[in-house]
Amino acid sequence: MNGYFANLGIRMIRYADDFILMSNEIKQEAITKLHGYLERMELTINEEKSKMVNAREEPFDFLGFTVRYDRSILIKGSRFWNIFPKQKAQKGIRKAIDVKLKLIGHYPAKQVASELNPIIRGWMNYYKIEGVSYTQVAFRKLNDYLRTRLMRYYNRKSQRKSRLHGHEAYDLLTKKFGLIVPYTTNGLRPVYAQGRNQ
C-alpha cells in the first residue's frame, strides 16, 4: 500500500489504527484505492473522524496533537508548522490531576508530589518532542492550573491553616517537596516555511 501512494507522491504516516496521507494533491483515485485496500483487509474508515484538509488553511489533529500553520509573531510575513497538545489532551491532564487529588485525600505534602509527578511527567514526555512540537503555551497553562488547583485543594482540606494553605501551596510543593514544574522552555525555534505557498 505504501508503495502505491509513494508512486503518486503521497506520504503515509501511520501509528496503530491511525494514519494520515500527505501530499500537494490527493485525487479521488487515491482515496478509492485506499478504501479498496482496507476492504480487502476487512477494515473500514471511520468517516466521522476522517476528513481531507488543506493543512495550510485548516488545522488538524493526529495522535493527540494539533497541527496548525501559524503566522509568526517574530518574523513578519513568515509562517511555521505549529504542533502542540490538542485541547482535549490538555483537558485530559487536568482531569487526571483532579481525580488523583480526590483519591489521595489527606496525604502528606511529599506524597502528594510523588503521586502527581508520574502523571505530569508522563504527559510532558509524550508531548515534548525535540525539534517537532511546541509545548511552551500548553505547559504554561498546565503550570497555572496546578498552582490554582493546589491552592483550592489545600484551602478546602481543612479549616485549620497550615504551611500549605493559600497561595504558598504550589511554591512549597515544587521547591521543597519535588513537585515537577511543567513550564520549562523546550528550546525550539520555529522552522519557517518560505515561498509562494505561504
Q: Which residue has the higher pLDDT, 178 or 16?
A: 178
Residue 193: the pLDDT is 42
Mean pLDDT of the chain: 84
User: Is this prediction's pTM over 0.75?
Assistant: yes
Q: What is the 3-state secondary structure (H, E, C) of the chain?
A: CHHHHHHCCCEEEEECCEEEEECCCCCHHHHHHHHHHHHHCCCCCCHHHCCCCCCCCCCEEECCEEEEEEECCCCCCCEEEEEEECHHHHHHHHHHHHHHHHHHCCCCHHHHHHHHHHHHHHHHHHHCCCCCCCCHHHHHHHHHHHHHHHHHHHHHHCCCCCCCCCCHHHHHHHHCCCCCCCCCCCCCCCCEECCCCC
Residue 124: the pLDDT is 94
pLDDT over 70 percentage in the chain? 86
The residues near 103 (Cβ < 8 Å, ≥ 6 apart) are none
User: Is the pLDDT confidence value at 98 over 50?
Assistant: yes
The residues with which 71 forms a beta bridge, in sequence order, are: 79
What's the longest Cα–Cα distance across the chain?
70
Q: Which residue has the higher pLDDT, 27 or 162?
A: 27
Residues 106-133: tens digit of each pLDDT:
888 899 999 999 999 999 999 999 888 9
Task: Report the pLDDT averaged over residues 12-19.
Answer: 85
User: Is the pLDDT confidence value at 48 over 50?
Assistant: yes
Confidence of residue 196 (pLDDT cuts 50, 70, 90): very low
Residues 72-82: tens digit of each pLDDT:
877 788 889 99
